[in-house]
Chain A
Amino acid sequence: ETGVTQTPRHLVMGMTNKKSLKCEQHLGHNAMYWYKQSAKKPLELMFVYSLEERVENNSVPSRFSPECPNSSHLFLHLHTLQPEDSALYLCASSRTPIAGGLNTGELFFGEGSRLTVL
């Protein structure tokens, strides 16, 4: 139990569906992250929220829409995805945002949501 809970653990959706991934952290952290993990590729940072404000968006297509209503919850809304979007989506949190070399804080990851787009 890492203190970061993701639901659902598995999701299968068609290209025209709308679905959402949910992440909840019970650690009192102020920063939350979405990462995409694809086979044989490095982890890709998608979004970073600090104190509920988006501070980084790494050129992610608009079919992925994040939402952070409070410091404990993070959503990733999915709409008209493509088969190449199939991957493991990992949520993470940290006490403060990891920025440059100044913050050596640890990222706490959830177990991930395995997404398959048909």
Chain B
Amino acid sequence: GDSVTQMEGPVTLSEEAFLTINCTYTATGYPSLFWYVQYPGEGLQLLLKATKADDKGSNKGFEATYRKETTSFHLEKGSVQVSDSAVYFCARSSGAGSYQLTFGKGTKLSVIP
């Protein structure tokens, strides 16, 4: 079945460090790919998305490129801030007939001053 694998956390970085959170997905069908973010005490909110191969999603300084050849959608940011501390979830849309977004387990990011 469909699955999403993202790097285990937690990840702790100093402010202004470079961030990469790896995400790979099973290559069934032609999924759309998403990154959601969950700040402490809140629900998930969409951070960025890409709908086809080679698309780059970007928002708030974060970027991710849909790589079909490596079935990856890694999240990057050049300079993290304390306010980026949150849990990040990679997700893919599922196959035809299913209403499910398949999520990864989440990666907790802590940014220290």
Contacts and interface: CB of A to CB of B under 8 A. Distances in A.
B66 to A, nearest CB: 12
Contacts of B30: 101
Contact of B43 (A40, A100, A109): A109
B28 to A, nearest CB: 10
Q: Does more than half of chain A's interface fall in helix, strand or loop, or is it mixed? A: loop
Given A100-B29, A101-B31, A104-B32, A56 B93 contact: no
Contacts of B36: 107
Nearest to B105: A42
B23 to A, nearest CB: 12
Interface in A73-91: 90
- In this complex, the interface size class of chain B, counting residues with CB under 8 Å from chain A, is 20 to 34
Interface string B40-82: 0111111001010000000000000000000000000000000
Nearest to A103: B93
Interface of B: 4, 29-32, 36, 41-46, 49, 51, 89, 93-106
Given A92-B43, A104-B93, A106-B49, 14 more contacts: A2-B43, A41-B105, A43-B103, A45-B100, A45-B101, A48-B99, A56-B98, A58-B100, A99-B98, A101-B30, A101-B31, A104-B32, A106-B46, A107-B44
